[in-house]
Amino acid sequence: MPQRVDSFEAVVLPHLKAGYNLARWLLRNDHDAEDVMQEAIVRAFRFYDGFSGNNPRGWLLTVVRNSAYSFLQQNRARELGTEFDEDLHGEIAETPEVLVLRSAQQRLLNQAVEALPVEFREVFVLREMEGLSYKEIADVAGVPIGTVMSRLSRARRNLIAAVARREQVGSAS
Amino acid sequence: MNCSEAKRLIDAYVDNELDVRGVLELEEHVSHCPGCSVEERGLRELQTSSRANLIRYAPSPGLEARLHAALRAEAKDAPIPIKTAEPAPRRRAWKWAALAPLAAAAALLIVAVPRLLPAPSETSVADAVVAAHVRSLLANHLTDVASSDQHTVKPWFQGKLDYSVSVKDWAAEGYPLVGGRLDYVEDTPAAALVYRRAQHVVNLFVWPSKNAADEPVQRLARRGYSAYSWTTDRMHYWAVSDVNDAELQKFVELVRRRE
């Protein structure tokens, strides 16, 4: 059925970049992100007949998200359902050299987002990188809007505190 | 608005997810509250910095090539009845998670099937009702008239709607009336009666039906909320809440028993 492949590639694959970015942020390394992405795309293709045609990006993100979570469940279950551990943020590697302020900040922020528990990281990345609305995030993550709001809010408070703490450490040393 | 309300809404404000009324109230509060104003600035800085600085990971060219190949292979492998002697065992490792969307779709179908044919717009009404429920919680605009007295709430609606709504307090049964609100469901003015069940809010939306036929109770789930709908005496009723299903069902029975 080559026309089915063509249609899938035309409708869904334009959102591959968004899907990969989400997988990479959820899994935190390229190797696993590529494996999960491949599985997600094949899975999406199998379900493609049942896809309504609305919002292919949100649909692909949902499939990618679910694939990433089942991968974590099987391989790194302890990363799921974790609460904030303030110590986690203490382990961020020191920047080896004096860097331009901007790149230091950039590194700091990326590290702080990586250190968020996956449920919080997911909501934050979908909001700030993909620009999804609360409702769209709720649909992708399969949680109520209230949960999206509280996770987003806690993720942000945590990031602001983590970045402020790191900047303090940086200026003190 | 006080600080704890402002803190609850300030993320939604920064994300442009607050309704006009909420925006006005929040801005008013932030303008004279130094603490919340610092908080707002912090959130906006984080947002700007995140959008500029978070690494956007791109798939490698190798991955894209592998995906195209995997899709062609999958398409060939698909179970189309071609004239091969015996169906090759499909080399896929089904996982639970892969089945979940199917199961969800099947569950939805079971619930929705009796209504699919006569009312194709049912799901959009459900979305609108749940959105109205969420909005009422989000913007802290739960009630226009806050009263547990049905004789206060009922007359309040009279000048605002061209139909009459019966209002009853079920405090004795564990569902105290909190008040009423004028809401809109798909551009139709609807009465929203607000009840509490422990920490949960139950919104009961009521508006006139265009056809005379009664409809039995239907249940729908949307984004973690349960919704029950029915039509009696030319009025649509929708009860929405995040309370557990059995308790919402009990509430629905209370409302229906009295009609």
Q: Which of A36, A49, A61 is nearest to A3 (CA)?
A: A49
Our CA-based measurement puts residue A154 at a distance from the nearest CA of chain B, in whole angstroms, of 10
Q: Which residues of B touch A144 (CB under 8 A)?
A: 223-225, 242
Q: How many CB atoms within 10 Å of residue B159?
A: 6
Confidence label for B252 from pLDDT (cuts 50, 70 and 90): very high
Interface with B, mutate which of A1, A8, A16, A20 (most B CBs under 10 A): A20
Q: Facing residues of B184 across strands?
A: B189
Domain that holds residue A52: 1-78
Interface with A, mutate which of B55, B68, B109, B244 (most A CBs under 10 A): B55
Same domain flag for A55 and A108:
no
Same domain flag for A89 and A152:
yes
Same domain flag for A72 and A85:
no
Q: How many domains does chain A have?
A: 2
Same domain flag for A27 and A88:
no
ipTM of predicted complex: 0.84
Which of A18, A48, A78 delimits the end of a domain? A78
The answer to whether the CB atoms of A66 and B97 lie below 8 A apart is yes
Task: Using CA coordinates, name the residue in chain B closest to A24.
Answer: B57
Same domain flag for A63 and A114:
no
The answer to whether the CB atoms of A42 and B53 lie below 8 A apart is no
Domains identified in chain B and CATH numbers: 1-79 (1.10.10), 111-258 (3.30.200.100)
Q: Are strands B225-232 and B188-197 parallel, antiparallel or unpaired?
A: unpaired
Our CA-based measurement puts residue B126 at a distance from the nearest CA of chain A, in whole angstroms, of 14
Confidence label for B85 from pLDDT (cuts 50, 70 and 90): very low
DSSP string, B112-132: HHHHHTT-TTHHHHHHHHHHH
Our CA-based measurement puts residue A110 at a distance from the nearest CA of chain B, in whole angstroms, of 6
Q: Is A104 or B201 the better-scoring residue by pLDDT?
A: B201
pLDDT digits over A49-65, tens only?
Answer: 878 778 899 999 999 99
Q: Which of B68, B184, B173 is nearest to A9 (CA)?
A: B68
Q: Using an 8 Å Cβ cutoff, are B129 and B220 in contact?
A: no
Q: Which residues of B touch A46 (CB under 8 A)?
A: 74
Query: Which amino acid type is present at position B36?
Result: C
Same domain flag for A117 and A145:
yes
